[in-house]
Amino acid sequence: MTPPTPTLQAGDTVPDGTFRYIPYTEDLKDTVTQSLDITEDLKGKKVVLFSVPGAFTPTCHVNHLPPYLQHYDDFKAKGVDIIAVVAANDPFVMSGWGRFEGVKDKILCLSDPEAEWSGKIGLALDMSQLHFGIRTARYAIIIDDLVITYIATEPGPGVTVTGAEALLAEL
Amino acid sequence: MAPTVKVGETIPAGTFKYIPYTPELESNAACGVPVSLDITKDWKGKKVVLFSVPGAFTPTCHVNHLPPYLQKYDEFKAKGVDVIGVLASNDPFVMSGWGRFQDVKDKLLCLSDIGAEWSSKLGLSMDTPGGARTARYAIILDDLTIKYIEVEPAPGVSVSGADAVLAKL
């Protein structure tokens, strides 16, 4: 499958949108989903956002998310306020996946239902023929006060330009 | 909601995708490869308990519906049950991840009814903002014949729970 090309580039403002998620709590009360409004909640912040086609799927699970968790302190040292992972799975699955990976409150696990917001930047993938529906592509963005400073999609299987080390080098 | 099939009838054909449990998955570093389960072929001649939840990791299911099935595994086996399966419309990777999260190992098959397609053949799917989901129900099959089929009338777990199903075996 050829990876999609983003319709925005460094210097553009991120489109408006909402993600749903379940905030991490020690006692894991799973019942309440919250909204993250991009324009309101990410204003003035330095954000690293990476996207995976699905929670618990190969590559993502093993190779994409764990390095972001391992490098958490390195990201913080570079002034990153929020690290987030996005997929089209529902917020309960994203929360479950986050707990499975032990991310606690270090990485926000966000749901982009039907890859709606990702689709606004041209980064949704139609995987219907695999019965997976519309998914988010494997991409990563650095956002500084709502302006994109880095945006990349993975050109093939595996993790390179969207991985933790690549992003750290851009910060 | 009422099922469109009843006790005494043959279960409709269908396939589910799932990731079979292997010890390698325990390390949480591998994800496995989905395979198909064909109801008519794979459950012929078997006694099967199948319970369905609207979603992996969602309230009720996660806390109240699945765990008792796992805790009472030996009791199900003592009643001659060959297969216990949990079903939802989540994809097979999510079902496998949920199963590992709940530590079911090979005791429960975590099956994916993508798009709630098979469940809707039984009249047991529901439309939600996120797409079609499977309702909360439970079925007992004996050699492909339905022996018990009940859907939860309200939030919570009663007729589709482990105790209710055990009482019918």
Among B58, B63, B91, the residue with its CB nearest the CB of A132 is B91
In-domain check, residue B7: no
pLDDT, position B10: 95
**A142 CA to chain B: closest CA distance, Å?**
27
Q: Tokens 């099959």 correspond to what residue?
A: B141
In-domain check, residue B3: no
In-domain check, residue B111: yes
For the segment A135-157, what is each residue's pLDDT rounded down to a tens digit? 999 999 999 999 999 999 998 88
In-domain check, residue B2: no
pLDDT, position A71: 96
In-domain check, residue B85: yes
Give the pair of three-digit tokens for residue A70. 């391992």
Phi first, then psi: give them for residue B68, nearest 5 degrees. -60, -35
pLDDT, position B163: 95
Q: How confident is the model at residue A108 (pLDDT cuts 50, 70, 90)?
A: very high
CA B31 to centroid of chain Cα atoms: 20
pLDDT, position A30: 55
Q: How confident is the model at residue A20 (pLDDT cuts 50, 70, 90)?
A: very high
pLDDT, position A24: 86
**A28 CA to chain B: closest CA distance, Å?**
11
Q: How would CATH label the architecture of A12-24+31-170?
A: 3-Layer(aba) Sandwich (3.40)
CB within 8 Å: B94 and A55 = yes
For the segment B72-112, what is each residue's pLDDT rounded down to a tens digit? 999 999 999 999 999 999 999 999 999 988 999 999 999 99
For the segment B104-130, what is each residue's pLDDT rounded down to a tens digit? 999 999 999 999 999 999 999 999 877
Spatial CA neighbour of A146 closest among A37, A4, A19: A37
User: Is the pLDDT confidence value at A45 over 90?
Assistant: yes
A24 touches B: beta carbon within 8 Å: no
A157 touches B: beta carbon within 8 Å: no
**CB contacts, 8 Å: A136 with chain B:** none
Q: Considering its fold, how many domains does chain B have in total?
A: 1
Active-site residue, selected from the candidate residues B11, B48, B49, B61: B61
Average pLDDT, chain A: 90
Identify the residue with better confidence: A129 or B67: B67
Hey, which residues does B134 pair with through a beta bridge? B125
Alpha helices in A12-170 (DSSP H): 38-41, 65-70, 72-77, 91-101, 116-120, 164-170
Task: Report the distance separating Cα A36 and Cα A66, nearest Å.
Answer: 23
**For chain A, percent of residues with pLDDT exceeding 90:** 76
The strand ranges marked E within B33-82 are 35-38, 47-52
pLDDT, position B28: 60
- Helix, strand and coil in chain B, % to nearest 5: 30, 25, 45
Can you give the residue ranges of every domain in chain A? 12-24+31-170
User: Is the pLDDT confidence value at B62 over 80?
Assistant: no
The CATH number assigned to the domain holding B108 equals 3.40.30.10
For the segment A2-18, what is each residue's pLDDT rounded down to a tens digit? 778 899 999 999 999 99
Domain coverage including residue B94: 15-168
Q: Which of A18, A63, A70, A90 to mutate to test the interface with B (most CBs of B within 10 A)?
A: A90
User: Is the pLDDT confidence value at B29 over 70?
Assistant: no
Give the pair of three-digit tokens for residue B97. 């991840």
Among A31, A58, A131, the residue with its CB nearest the CB of B59 is A31
Q: How confident is the model at residue B60 (pLDDT cuts 50, 70, 90)?
A: low
Q: How confident is the model at residue B22 (pLDDT cuts 50, 70, 90)?
A: confident
